[in-house]
Amino acid sequence: MDLIPKPGQVVSAAGNVAHKVLYGGLADLRPMPRTLIDDGTLREVYHYRPAAAVREQGDPVLLVTPLAAPSLCYDLRRGCSLVEHLVTEGRPTYLVEYGEVSFKDRNLGMEHWVEEVVPEAVRVASEHAGGRPVHVVGWSLGGIFALLAAADSPDLPIASLTVVGSPFDVSRVPLVAPIRPLLHLNVTQGRGAITRAYQAMGGAPKPLVRWAFQLSSFQKLVTKPLALAQNIDDTEFLAQIEAVDRFTDNMIAYPGRTFGQLYHRFVKGNGLVGGELELGGRTIRIADVEKPVLVFGGATDGIAPIAAVKAVVPLLAGSPEVRFEVVPGGHLGMLTGRAARGTTWQVLDEWVDQWSSDATATPDAPTAPTPAADGAPGSIGANPRRRYGSAGSRSLAR
């Protein structure tokens, strides 16, 4: 709102306040209709029902939620819902979420998601869609789980993979980098305070997860009252704030063993930066991913900055195509913010169409690698199957 409001702004502001008071909010928070088609231990697979007068066609898209975050990340509110967009486009749309995590789940480790939850969700979505290959989309930790599952189970019916805001080099995360040296100090000659705390609690409880997510956007949290006052005439801005607040209020706990693995291997050990992870007595290598991969980095993402996300690109040596895109928004905004429709979703649509099983030809059909003149693998241009998209084509300059 201008310093001296215009008459139209005053009317809009008064209308927004009245609507908030009388109806409790401005956002359309109706969830997209869905049906449960499969479930198991901390695994619920849903199929979103087709939109009216729209026929489902093409390969299915499976949305993989991260731990601790609700599936609202994909269905934030009407108009800013990736699910709504996919369903309206006629794409068979599926989602896997985990339900409420309790103390009894404290012994579940990452193996549960990499070996069982994600692979089973892919198979179920493929079978439900008539045996078609699946385009897997994972946000944050969901993207990491999707890549690890694809590397560990190359026989999964996957058409392509998309990872959104998934950090593979934690040393480049500003929130973590300054304290990582302190985490290695053994001042207690045994288990550290953090380890003792999460073991006693059986993981990370919901209030702590919610606080951590809010801390990642501390500046926005502090300036939120001012932003609300300045934008009180902007209905869309206020509706987005409401939807994000609901998302944050519905955070889910981390299981104890999984939280421990994430803390020790990712935060302290930065275990993914080298492209390998010891899990379940074997080594999973990101280079073993044999599917095309689209990687998104958020221009203002404080949880998974561009450099932390882009670190996965050189690790995907086995992928026929790797495309990296920078899009506007923070960690959640890049996925389902008000600008996502013309940026992230547009690129995702192009990607799914390119790697659809219905596509008769693609511009980057796999060809044999070209060896260097001396018989050794070349460096630049040695493998024409690898292609990288423009790293800044969807940046803030858009």
Query: Domain locations in the chain?
Result: 25-354
pLDDT for 257? 75
Question: Which range is least confidently modeled, 26-40, 171-185, 186-200, 221-235?
Answer: 186-200
Q: Which of 185, 241, 201 is nearest to 16 (CA)?
A: 241
C-alpha–C-alpha distance, residues 170 and 172, integer Å: 5
Is the pLDDT confidence value at 254 over 90? no
- What are the residues whose beta carbons fall under 8 Å from the beta carbon of 269, sequence distance 6 or more? none
Can you give the pLDDT at residue 1?
Answer: 56
* Confidence band for 106, pLDDT divided at 50, 70 and 90: confident
User: What is the percent of the chain with per-residue pLDDT over 70, rounded to a whole number?
Assistant: 67
Q: Which residues pair with 325 in a beta bridge?
A: 296
User: Which has more pLDDT, 8 or 395?
Assistant: 8
Residue for token pair 């080099």? 169
pLDDT over threshold 60, residue 27? yes
Q: Which residue has the higher pLDDT, 186 or 311?
A: 311
- Residue with token string 């990872």: 163
> Which pLDDT belongs to residue 190?
46
Q: Are strands 61-64 and 134-139 parallel, antiparallel or unpaired?
A: parallel
> What pLDDT, on a 0 to 100 scale, did the predictor assign at position 9?
52
Kindly state the percentage of the chain with pLDDT values over 90. Answer: 49
Between 231 and 221, residue with greater pLDDT:
231
Give 327: exposed, middle or buried? Use CB within 10 Å, 0-12, 13-18, 19+: buried
Average pLDDT over residues 301-309: 93
CATH number for the domain formed by residue range(s) 25-354: 3.40.50.1820
pLDDT by residue (tens digit) across 355-380? 999 874 444 444 433 333 333 333 32
Cite the DSSP H helix spans in the chain: 7-23, 82-88, 110-111, 118-128, 141-152, 180-183, 193-201, 206-216, 218-230, 235-249, 256-261, 306-310, 333-336, 344-354
- Please, which pLDDT band fits residue 67 given cuts at 50, 70 and 90? confident
Within 8 A by CB and 6+ apart from 200, the residues are none
Give me the mean pLDDT over the 342-356 stretch: 97
The answer to whether residue 337 scores a pLDDT higher than 60 is yes
Average pLDDT of the chain to the nearest whole number? 78
pLDDT at 73 over 80: yes
- Confirm if 65 and 73 have CB atoms less than 8 A apart: yes
Question: 261 or 394, which is more confident?
Answer: 261
Distance CA 294, CA 224 (A): 33
With contact defined as beta carbons under 8 Å apart, do 148 and 279 qualify? yes
Asked if 290 and 153 touch (Cβ cutoff 8 Å), the reply is: no
Mean pLDDT value across residues 220-240: 62
Beta bridge partners of 137: 63, 162
Instruction: With a cut of 50, say whether residue 46 has pLDDT above it.
Output: yes
Does residue 157 register a pLDDT over 70? yes
- pLDDT for residue 232: 63
pLDDT at 345 over 80: yes
